Structure 1
Amino acid sequence: MNEGGQPAWNWGRCVWCVELTSANMSLDEEEPSSFEMVLPGLHGKHLGMKWTLRGLGLYSTNYSTNYSTSGAHGFASIVECERERGTSLPMLRSLYSELHAIFVLLQQEVLQDKTRRATLVAFSRNYRSVMKDCMEEIQNVLSSNQNHQGENELANQISQLSALELIWHLCEVLFMESLQMGHLLPMLLDWVRLHSSALDQMAEDVTQSNCPAEHSDYWDVVCGFVLQARMQEARKLLAQSIIPDGECSMYAAMDELLRTMPHYVAGHTFTEFELKWKYWHDECERLLSEGAFPHCQLRLLCKILLGDAKALLGKKHLMPWYHFLVAKLLFNNPTVKIGEVHNYVQPCLDLYGCGREMEPLDQILQVAFDLNYNQVIKDCSLTLSSWWFVSHLADLLHRCPQFQLGSDLREFLLFEYATDLLSHHSLWSLAPAYLDTCGESGRACLELCLVRLPLQSEKKAQKVLRLCRERGMQDQERSICKQMAMKALRSGRLGSALAWSLRAKDSAFATRIADRFLEDYRSYGFLPHLDLIDSLGPSMLVSDRLTFLAKYREFHRLYSENHYKEAAQLLLSLMMARVAPRYFWLNLMTDALPLLTQEKVVFTSQQCYRLLECLQEIVTERNKESAMNEDAQAEDIIIIREAIASNHARTVIQERTEKVL
């Protein structure tokens, strides 16, 4: 806080963080206009640039000064410059989440057509409450910080949030609440009282002293209370004065003036209030003209009550100019209309020496008092380094029927805020709710960004998929499943890869994974992830190879349960239907060996002929292509042929015997 209790905030400069693989750099904020920075790996080179989701990507190019290629080869350096979003503190991330929850509720109210002015005021107060809670949390952290680490950052965040809440509250008063309540001044006084922390701290120091009346700030605090119409507190503090003999009547008269000062009460007419005010004002003038206050401080108090310009100006060190403005209205025009306030703004700024170069906070408050709500939004957009404040404020003001805040401006601000959230590692899930309110452009952005989010875990992937399903984005859902399937395949998690490919309904990828299962079987002699294969169900129809894998697993199950006839029939049907890959046919023939050598005949003579046909196709295919393990395969083929011949002979004998009998 600076003099007068105004939030001391270094406005108007965006902070950029440069992220490199080996080092992180933070840029100095001291220079307001421009700065020069050396980027590791890019210094002295010609740069190319490209806007990315997170910020600005810079990279070195191979172009010389005459725009011809240099022909040099080497490693390219890429640096990504990211604007600081102010989310480094956990409390601020919590703030974003709370704002998101209120925003979602507000959109639901809009859909139900319940956005009455009272409803908007309630939502505005909820927004401010969240900001205050965040300030309190940061203050608690600052108070308990024994190592004094990051104190400047914490204090700066408190100051920024205080200034933002000050602006928001004023917009609530001028653009929403005043039109609902009618009388402006009581709401402006509440606004002043809620943002007078400097006076409250001074009053606490005075009241906790051994003798408040002898404290150096005693009369400043009394005057400060009066300037904010906190008459009961002023009277209570005035009663602690050390009153000399013969001056009791003087203090009693001042106490009576403070007690009887009229305040507008809802339900009363302005005419009735103005009559009471005139009577009270005349009484103040009479007492002052009769010299009822020889005490200099009491006389100054009486002049303040009369709205004397010099008396008010003498206490300007107690308050910023916008508090001075409200005090001037309080004692000079208590029934001021909302459209008349702007007439008092510029004189107050001149008294405080706010010339041509105004601070951004002062400028925003000025245009707010001018009821220029569009300019408030634009100035906040240009001044603040984060979009959260201006986007939520613009959305709320857009709901006010008496204002014509352009929907394009509102959508632009929400769009920028949402894309900013999407680039954050933990706040990305808040962005879809904002993009949903941005029409076709918001949906298009969401479709592009969701599939480009880094999926570090399956939990995050499930979150993204849920967002896609809720919005009917089937193509994006399949794309994400493909990404996760590829990621699982690269890490050797075949079961997970197969599950993701099935969710993506990707026939080619499912075929690729099924081939990996079969390759593992050929290498190690067993099928992995049997529980997953057993639970495929209708999903096996995604690809022919997956269908074969499921049926092949069924063959092994039948064989292990001693259902040899059914196993033999299934094995033969897999070969005859040509669903088995060619490279796996020899394995199927090898699997037929135990069935061919069973004591009890399993294959019929007709099935033996078909086995021989399949074996001959394998031999023909083998002769066309040279194999690395040619000798081993040749030996296997001979063994299989002999087993088929032996089984066929036994089958013929058995069939003829049965025919004779």
Structure 2
Amino acid sequence: MATIAQFGSSVHLALANHEGVLVDVIEPHDLHQITCLLHVWHPIFESLHRFRRGDKKIMSRELQDALTESSCRYIAEMGAFRDLCNNSQVQSRIRVCESLWMLAHVVFILPHESIARQMLNWFHFHNLPFKTAPLGSLWHRVHTYILYGYISDAISIIVEEAAPEFDPIASQLVSLLQSLPLLDRENQCLTALQFDEVFNLFRHKCTQFANQQSVRSSPELSMIAKSLSGDVASIIESSKRCSSGNWVVSVIALLLLSSPNANKADLADIVTACCEENEDYSKRVSYHDAIYSIMIHDIPCALMALRSQLGASWLAAHLADVLQIGGQSMQDLPTNKQCLRATLVFEYGSALISDSNLWELAPAYLITCHATGRELIIPSIYRHVTDEFMAEKAIDLCNRLQAPDHANSVALQMSAKSLAMSCPGNAFLWSLRGNHPIAANAIINKVIQDWVGTGFISLSLYQLQEMIAACPDPSSSLLSLCAAVHVVSIEDPIQKLSRAVVFLHRGDIYNSNLDTFIALQAAQIITASDGAAAITANLVPQDISTILRVLSLDSQQNNLSDQERVQMSHGLIIALSQVILKAN
């Protein structure tokens, strides 16, 4: 059985394939900062798995639609949480996580093979916090904006500073930028062949632009023309210079200007080429490992980078789940022989179930980790059963997991806590919930024993009636206790005497101490009135004889001195004689 480690430690876990894995347990504060986000992500995870379980013959198109929708919901909830978050550090971290999921969404989840437009949109979102106005000459700034994909910004500064209405070169450049094939909305509905024709025509126009004397004579304009023409070497060299060696900018520039029809399979080659041309490329890009691994389709390394670089195991677990359902290769890492998805989800679930605010979310994740996850759920929930509200949640959880024995154990745990707090009524009801009638009856017997011994009862008549209503088959002890409490609660002595006699005639042989207690109540009423109460209550000789019999049978348990017993017996005999005389 897997065990829960302390936060911040490492623990060896035996997975379902019987192989070991060392898993780090997430620090609790990492999750506390994003509690709201994890709560809204939970139903997305559940709905996707319900969709899979509901129909075993899911068509690939239906599964793709479900995956795309779920991934979009994950991203949207991150954005909503980020907008509402007041902590700037958490906000920045969530934005990074949002960006990395968006990149994975483009590369792995979206069904489109051509991804240049989606990659450009992703980059603009990812780069927004770092976007600054470039410095230098006009054409250098224009070139920088073009390479970053900020075409509208490039056009704006040309219009503002180059006066294209008077400068034909500036006017032609604006026209070229406005007709850039990838960004022209009219081209979005074209087939691949039609788009190639449009792109070739655009490159031809760029070549004509580059051959003009005014362009050739300006090194900066010449480099812009070469970039727009799709010259790979010029694009990589220019983007390297403009971005201080950021290879991601080179990738985006190539997709925009040289390979707008590139598909997912081409992306890894483009990334490799750009990284080779940028020295120390890993130092130039924030969260390089995660971005690089996603772009070259190395899912295991990407997920582990999310976990280690960002410390976002919650993100890695959800993304791994979506990718595996989508059929992406989750091949093992060379150093580990376990299922990566199971490892990440188990690690996340173990952190949830150890958290007092998030433990209810954990079972949905852990049950997808097969036997290992299930073994962790049940023992862990006991620590969170601190009150009746949490106990109800725990019992509901056990029932959903089809673990009735553990649901009963939780109920009995609450029964013991209620007894320790001197709440026998609640303890009785929890014992019933725990399917333990023997324990419930023992609680009633203890209440009777305490009442008879001290004269104080901690249960009201209303509580006893509720307890009877909760029992499918109430015990004689519970019924007798309720009847006895009803007798004692009557204020009028004559009515109390009448009800006491009825109680003593009920024929319950298992609660003689209650009989003695009520018989004493009746005897005290009779002797206090010198037998008059017996006449008024219309008692018959058999009633008085029953009271005498009960008191004589339990003479050692009625806590009366010999003198008190003699006086009470004498008073009862006088009352008996009066009743007999009246009857004759």
8 A Cα contact 2:82 2:94, kept in partner: yes
CA contact (8 A) 1:394 1:410 kept: yes
SS in 2 for 1:240: helix
Distance across 2 between alignment mates of 1:239 and 1:358: 32
Which deviates further from its counterpart, 429-438 or 254-263?
A: 429-438
Aligned to 2:158: 238
User: Does residue 1:127 correspond to 2:54, yes or no?
Assistant: no
Alignment of 1:338-377 (within 5 A): 338-354=264-280, 361-377=287-303
1:213-228 to 2 correspondences below 5 Å: 222-228=142-148
Equivalent runs, 1:79-158 vs 2, <5 Å: 83-89=27-33, 92-113=34-55, 115-138=62-85, 141=86, 154-155=88-89, 157-158=90-91
Aligned match of 1:589 in 508, 512, 519? 519
Let me know the Cα RMSD of the aligned residues.
Answer: 3.7
Stretch moving more, 428-437 or 509-518: 509-518
Distance 1:402 1:266 in 2: 28
Cα offsets for 1:46-87 (capped at 9, x unmatched): xxxx964553799xxxxxxxxxxxxxxxxxxxxxx9824413
2:318 partner amino acid: H
Runs of 5+ unmatched residues, structure 1: 1-49, 59-80, 143-153, 207-214, 623-628
Contact kept? 1:360, 1:383, Cα under 8 Å: no
| 1:175 aligned partner | 108
Question: Hey, what's the Cα distance between the residues in 2 that align with 1:405 and 1:117?
Answer: 21
Q: Which amino acid aligns with 2:95?
A: S
Pair 1:251 & 2:170 matched:
yes
Moved more, 439-448 or 124-133: 439-448
Could you report, residue by residue, the CA deviation over 1:188-245 in whole angstroms, capped at 9, with x for unpaired residues?
Answer: 1121122121464x24xx8xxxxxxxx7586565334312444334212321114499
Q: Deviations over 1:546-600 (max 9, x none)?
A: 3332232243367858275453132243xx5332264x55423312315644232
Tell me the residue number matched to 1:277: 199
Contact 2:4 2:350 in 1 (8 A): no
Q: Could you say which residue in structure 1 is the equivalent of 2:227? A: 304
SS in 1 for 2:495: coil
* Residues in 2 aligned to 1:516 and 1:220: alpha-carbon distance in whole angstroms: 90
Relative to its length, the structure with more helix (as a share) is 2
1:577 to 495, 500, 508: 508
Give 1:284 deviation, angstroms.
Answer: 2.0
Superimposed CA distance per residue, residues 111-134 of structure 1 (whole angstroms, 9 cap, x where no aligned partner): 444753133222212111222223
Shift of 1:267: 4.0
The offset of 1:283, in angstroms, is 2.8
- Name the structure 2 match of 1:394: 320
3-state SS of the aligned residue for 2:510? coil
- Give the distance between the partners of 1:433 and 1:119, measured in 2 at CA: 18
User: Any conservation in 2 of the 1:508–1:543 contact (CA below 8 Å)?
Assistant: no
Give runs of aligned pairs for residues 560-639 of structure 1, distance below 5 A. 562=495, 564-573=497-506, 577-580=508-511, 582=513, 586-594=516-524, 596=526, 597=531, 598-600=533-535, 604-619=540-555, 621=556, 632-639=560-567
C-alpha distance in structure 1 between counterparts of 2:377 and 2:452, whole Å: 42
1:456-475 matches, cutoff 5 A:
457-475=387-405
Contact 1:595 1:602 (C-alpha < 8 Å) held by counterparts: no
Separation in 2, partners of 1:256, 1:249: 10
Q: Is the 8 A contact 2:282 2:289 kept in 1?
A: no
- Decide whether the 8 Å contact of 1:572 with 1:611 is kept in 2: no
Contact 2:429 2:440 in 1 (8 A): no
- Confirm or deny that 1:417 pairs with 2:337: no
The separation in 2 between residues aligned to 1:563 and 1:383, in whole angstroms, is 79
Report the CA distance shift for 1:489/1:109 in structure 2 as closer, same or farther (over 3 A): same
Residues in 1 aligned to 2:357 and 2:393: alpha-carbon distance in whole angstroms: 12
Q: 1:551 aligns with which of 483, 493, 496?
A: 483
Q: Could you tell me which amino acid in structure 1 is paired with residue 180 of structure 2?
A: M
Identity of aligned residues (%): 18
The TM-score, its normalising length taken from structure 2, stands at 0.80
Cα distance in 2 between the residues matched to 1:538 and 1:135: 51
Structure 1 residues 440 and 348: alpha-carbon distance in aligned structure 2, compared to 1, 3 A threshold: same
Paired AA for residue 312 in structure 1:
S
Distance 1:527 1:276 in 2: 89
2:361 pairs with 1:430: yes
Further displaced range: 389-398 or 158-167: 158-167
For 2:240, the aligned partner's letter is: L
State the Cα distance separating 1:348 from its structure 2 match.
2.1
Query: For the residues of structure 2 that align with 1:529 and 1:408, how far apart are their CA atoms?
Result: 58
| Equivalent residue number for residue 7 of structure 2 | 55
**Secondary structure, aligned partner of 2:31:** coil
CA gap of 1:314–1:385, structure 2 versus 1, over 3 A, is closer
CA contact (8 A) 1:558 1:564 kept: no
1:487 to 407, 417, 423: 417
Q: Which runs of 5+ in 2 are unaligned?
A: 11-24, 333-337
Q: CA deviation at 1:505?
A: 4.2
Count of residues in correspondence between the two structures: 542
CA deviation string 1:228-273 (max 9, x = no partner): 444334212321114499x701111211221222228344232322
Asked if the contact 2:452–2:517 (Cα under 8 Å) also holds between the matched residues in 1, the reply is no
CA shift digits 1:264-311 (9 cap, x unpaired): 834423232223222322332333233332444433322322331322
What amino acid sits opposite 1:552 in the alignment?
A
1:649 aligns with 2:577: yes
Aligned to 2:99: 166
Alpha-carbon separation, structure 1, partners of 2:283 and 2:122: 26
Q: Name the CA shift for 1:56/1:310 in 2 (closer, same or farther; >3 Å).
A: closer
Structure 2 SS opposite 1:341: helix
CA contact (8 A) 2:353 2:377 kept: no
Superposed CA deviations along residues 151-186 of structure 1, whole A, max 9, x for unmatched, are: xxx43x334323322221121111121xx2231211
**What CA distance in whole angstroms lies between the structure 2 residues aligned with 1:510 and 1:216?**
89
Distance 1:198 1:616, change over 3 A: closer
